[in-house]
Structure 1
Amino acid sequence: MKIAVCASEAFPFCKTGGLADVVGALSTFLSRNEMVESLVLFLPKYRDIGKTAFSPKKISGSFVVPVADRFENANLYLVEWGRVKVYLIDNPRYFDRPGLYRSESGEFSDNDERFIFFQRAVLEGCKFIDFKPDIIFCHDWQAGLIPAYLRTLYNIDAFFAKTKTAFTIHNIAYQGMFAKDTFIKAGFSWFDFTPDKLEYYGGINFMKAGINYANIITTVSPTYAIEITQNPQISRGLEGVLNYRKKDLYGILNGIDTEVWDPATDTFIYRGYDVKTFWRGKPFCKKKFQQEMGLKQDKNTILAGCVSRLDWQKGIDIIADVIPDFMGRMQFVVLGSGDKGLSERLKKISDENRESFVFVNDFNEELAHKIYASSDIFLMPSRFEPCGLSQMISSRYGSVAVVNSVGGLKDTINYYPDDLMKSNGFVFDGATASNLKSMLGHIISVYGSKEIWNNLIRNAMKTDFSWSNSVLQYTKLFSDLLK
Structure 2
Amino acid sequence: MNIVLAASEAFPFCKTGGLADVVGALCQQFASRKNNKVLLFLPHYRNIVRVSSLKIVPGVYLIPVGDKIEQVSLSYINWGNVLVFFVGNRKYFDRDGLYRTKSGEYPDNDERFILFSRAVLEGCKFIGFRPDLIHCHDWQTGLIPAYLKTVYKLDAFYTRTRSLYTIHNIAYQGHYPYSSFRKAGFHPVDYTPDKFEYYGGISFLKSGLVFADNINTVSPNYAREVQSDPAMGFGLEGLLRYRADHFCGIVNGIDTEVWDPEIDPVLPVGYDASEAVRGKLAAKLALQQQCKLEQDPDKPLVGIVSRLDYQKGLDIALNLMEQFKDRVQFVVLGMGDPMLEKAYQSLARNNAGKVSYNGRLDEDLAHRIYAGADLFLMPSRFEPCGLSQLIAMKYGALPVVSRVGGLVDTVKGYDGANEESATGFFINQFSEKGIAQTLEEALKAFGDKKVWNRLVKNAMRQDLSWDKSAQAYLDLYRKTVI
TM-score, with length taken from structure 1:
0.97
2:98 counterpart (57, 77, 100)? 100
Q: Residue deviations 1:432-477, cap 9 Å, x none?
A: 1111100111112111211110010000001111000011101111
Pair 1:18-2:18 in alignment: yes
Distance 1:90 1:314 in 2: 34
Runs of 4+ in structure 1 over 3 Å off: 51-54
Q: Name the counterpart of 2:180.
A: 182
Residue in structure 2 matched with residue 2 of structure 1 by the alignment: 2
Partner residue of 1:310? 308
Shift of 1:431: 2.4
Deviations 1:74-125 (A, max 9, x none): 1110111111001111111111122111123321111111111111111111
Instruction: Work out which of the residue numbers 112, 123, 127 in structure 2 matches 1:125.
Output: 123
Match of 1:170 among 159, 165, 168: 168
Separation of aligned partners in 1, 2:17 and 2:444: 35
SS of corresponding position for 1:24: helix
Q: Would the aligned equivalents of 1:376 and 1:400 in 2 still touch at CA under 8 Å?
A: yes
Residue-pair matches, total? 481
TM-score by length of 2: 0.98
CA contact (8 A) 2:218 2:385 kept: yes
Task: Report deviation, 1:429.
Answer: 1.9
Amino acid corresponding to residue 476 of structure 2 in structure 1: L
Give the AA of the match of 1:254: N
Q: Distance in 2 between matches of 1:95 and 1:232?
A: 35
**C-alpha distance in 1 between matches for 2:59 and 2:342:** 51
| Cα distance in 2, alignment partners of residues 239 and 11 from structure 1 | 30
User: In the aligned structure 2, how far is the partner of 1:61 from the partner of 1:294?
Assistant: 54
Unaligned runs of 5+ in 1: none
C-alpha contact (below 8 Å) 1:270/1:370 kept by paired residues: no
Residue 29 of structure 2 is matched in structure 1 by 29
Contact kept in structure 2, 1:258 and 1:466, CA below 8 Å: yes
Match of 2:361 in 1: 363
Distance in 2, Cα, partners of 1:117 & 1:59: 18
Counterpart residue number, 2:432:
433
Deviation (angstroms), 1:53: 4.8
* Alignment-derived partner of residue 400 in structure 1: 398
Contact 2:51 2:77 survives alignment (8 Å): no
**In the alignment, is the contact (CA less than 8 A) between 1:331 and 1:357 conserved in 2?**
yes
Matched residue, 1:385: 383
1:300 and 2:312 are equivalent in the alignment? no
Q: Deviations over 1:39-65 (max 9, x none)?
A: 10011111122x535421111112111
**Does the CA-based 8 Å contact 1:415-1:425 persist in structure 2?**
yes
In structure 2, distance between residues paired with 1:365 and 1:299: 24
| CA distances 1:338-361 after superposition (whole Å, capped 9, x unpaired) | 122222222222222212211112
The letter of the residue matching 1:71 is: I
What is the distance in 1 between the residues matched to 2:36 and 2:267?
A: 38
Instruction: Note the 1:207-246 alignment, pairs <5 A.
Output: 207-246=205-244
Could you give the per-residue CA deviations for residues 12-45 of structure 1, whole angstroms, max 9, x where no partner exists?
A: 11111111111111111111122x4201001111
Deviation at 1:235, TM superposition (A): 1.2
Structure-1 separation of matches of 2:70 and 2:357: 45
Tell me, what secondary structure is at the counterpart of 2:47? helix
Q: In structure 1, the residue corresponding to 2:206 is in which secondary structure?
A: helix
Superposed, which structure 2 residues align to 1:156-167 within 5 Å?
156-167=154-165
Aligned to 1:276: 274
**Per-residue deviation, residues 201-225 of structure 1 (Å, max 9, x unmatched):** 1111100000000000010011110
* Alignment partner of 1:113 out of 111, 115, 129: 111
CA contact (8 A) 2:264 2:270 kept: yes
Provide the residue aligned with 2:478 in structure 1. Answer: 479
Note if contact 2:262-2:271 (Cα within 8 Å) is conserved in structure 1. Answer: yes
Q: What's the offset of the Cα at 1:364?
A: 1.3
Deviates more, 1:434-443 or 1:205-214: 434-443
Q: Describe the superposition over 1:409-449 as per-residue Cα deviations: whole angstroms up to 9, x where unpaired.
A: 11100014132332011112232111110011111211121
Counterpart CA distance in 2 for 1:164 and 1:45 is 25
Is this contact kept in 2: 1:318–1:431, CA < 8 A? no
Partner of 2:153: 155
| Alignment gaps of 5+ in structure 2 | none
Between stretches 97-106 and 259-268, larger displacement belongs to 97-106
| 1: CA distance, partners of 2:141 / 2:51 | 26
